[in-house]
Chain A
Amino acid sequence: MIKPSVELIMAGRRQRRRRWILVTGLLALLACILCCAMLLLGNTIYPVTEVIRALSGEQILGTSFAVNTIRLPRMLAGLFAGFAFGLAGSIFQTMLRNPLANPNVIGITTGSSAAAVFCIIVLQTSESVVSLASVMAGLATVMMIYLLSNRKPFSIGRLILVGIGIQAMLDAGISYLLLIGAQQDIPAALRWLSGSLNGSQMHELPPLMITVLICTPIIIILGKQLSLLELGDQAATSLGVRTNTVRVILILSSVCMLAVATSVTGPIAFVAFLSGPIAKRLVGSGFSNAFPAGLVGVNLVLGGDLIGQFAFETRFPVGVITGIVGAPYLIFLLIRMNRKGSL
């Protein structure tokens, strides 16, 4: 009789799916609460009704400016960039089967930062050129890492080490630029070192939103293929996955999201690195943790920004807060992987 076995498997999967839906729902709810908090909280706390009226286009002295020009762009930048970092980071980790194989650790975001700092300090270009240069540099850094580490057979360890090396070089370049830079350019450049939502403007957001709205469905549609790539290339190929095509599409989509998000907020430390593992811990196994990881990213960025704005006497940019959370986890992970001998 096959029926009891089918029912046993169904029961297990139903239970895992229920957990996934519940956790994802709660993460989305928390993200909504944080979004509202971003709009409501600030130097002046306006009544809820007034904030809603300002958002719907009514001109209210003071409120309209604070909500529509400062808080809304800040919230949207955090929402979309957080989602992009979380989702893209988890895709890298899953695809390369290593939590260290991550945009933060292997220096993709550092490439963007270095280009931005170079434009600000040396070339003195306009803001939009800085953004464009950082996107291009992010993509170029990935290509460079990939080409330098692409010896057969493909090795993830080599990719990570090449990435760390390149990151060290780029960091050295950034330090040099900061030393020679003119005093007045330094604050603008610093934003590119630890990400910040300060000064996000509405007109910067459309490219980020469009990229996220295009890349997210692509990544979610390829979820099943990604779950097979996790078993290794040989298993995935023999199950009928076009491994190279899928990998290239996933890398391109993730890198585009990362690079564009970095160009808006700067590299918000460790969000891409932390979101995947946190989401996985929360939703359990069996169903894709890509979308939940995006939501975790949103919560980290918005939560971190709120803490940075209001928890201390001085205001800290969000990257400082996520950095404080993320660095110990990186150390913990390195120790654990070292014990297991998996790096």
Chain B
Amino acid sequence: MKPVHLFKVEQVVAGYDHKTVIQDVSLVVPSGKISVIIGANGCGKSTLLKTMARLIKPSSGQIILDGKPISQFPPKQLARILGLLPQSPVIPEGITVADLVGRGRFPHQSWLSGWTKKDYEAVAEAMKFMNIIEFANHPIDELSGGQRQRVWIAMALAQQTDILLLDEPTTFLDITYQIEILDLLTDLNRKHGTTIIMVLHDINLSARYADHIFALHKGRLVAEGEPSKVITSTLIKEIFGLDCIVIEDPLSGSPMVVPKGRHHVH
């Protein structure tokens, strides 16, 4: 199992250029759990995740990992603990699946050295975990969207970090592949104890797969905790402005949001 890390956001204000998106957010990420950040479009959930992954520098406040601000870590050392799957990474033309997954090994390699036995094993393990080993020597261009997403996650797994951040890992995927990806991430969390923090669009999937929910509204953290405690019709009304009823998911027992609409008020 992975070691326990204290990963927290302390009074962070962040944004782009002149626009502040995140307003004074503080939170502690539960170690070894799956946390999901939810909120409406433009509420800053992706910005918060990017700030936590050191892609955006907070204008005030800090992201602290094990008592030290992440900006003070040497980049490679931090990359061995904290990984990120960005929303839309670029696929270099013609690259094979194994070579791409292998790029996740960078923080474990020294200058100029080739792949070590450990690198090969980590890559093979990550690819087996994501069920893409059969494509190892195929160019990624040949794969479907769902398969490509599994390749990117495999790259993040090959990085072998204790904490993994994912920015909308299921966007643009059919529902079948969304479930498949979320199941695999749950496996990763249960088997290896990897701490997972992700931004998801779908509330019901968030409620089903999260151990812990962070609800953002207009750049502020408005609620957090277990899905069954947090996801209520009042909260949904507050952060999405949507009237709904919340029932129990018949399969997982997690809360399930059933939206009301003008034609289906009941």
Contacts and interface: CB of A to CB of B under 8 A. Distances in A.
A213 B264 CA distance: 73
A116 B77 CA distance: 48
A280 interface: yes
B92 to A, nearest CB: 5
A2 B53 contact: no
B83 interface: yes
A285 interface: yes
Contact of B137 (A8, A234, A238): A8
B120 A9 contact: yes
Given A2-B124, A238-B83, A231 B89 contact: yes
A13 B55 contact: no
A218 B79 CA distance: 23
B124 A6 contact: yes
Given A10-B120, A238-B79, A228 B107 contact: no
A224 B109 contact: yes
Contacts of B235: none
25 contacts: A2-B128, A5-B133, A6-B121, A8-B133, A9-B98, A9-B120, A12-B98, A13-B99, A16-B96, A97-B90, A97-B92, A152-B17, A221-B111, A230-B92, A231-B89, A231-B90, A231-B91, A232-B90, A234-B55, A234-B87, A235-B84, A235-B90, A237-B53, A239-B79, A285-B92
A181 interface: no
Contacts of B78: 240
B128 A5 contact: yes
Range of interface residues on A (Cβ < 8 Å): 20 to 34
A221 B110 CA distance: 11
Range of interface residues on B (Cβ < 8 Å): 35 or more
Interface of B: 16-17, 50, 53-55, 75-80, 82-84, 86-96, 98-99, 103-104, 106-107, 109, 111-112, 115, 120-121, 123-125, 127-128, 133, 136-137, 139, 159, 165
A93 to B, nearest CB: 11
From A8, A11, A97, A240, residue with most partner B Cβ within 10 Å: A240
Interface in A4-26: 5-6, 8-13, 15-16
A321 B20 CA distance: 55
Give the secondary structure class of B's interface.
mixed
Contacts of A211: none
B55 A238 contact: yes
Closest A-B pairs by Cβ, 4 of them: A240-B79, A12-B137, A238-B84, A234-B86
B122 to A, nearest CB: 10
Contacts of A239: 79, 103-104, 106-107, 159
A97 B107 CA distance: 22
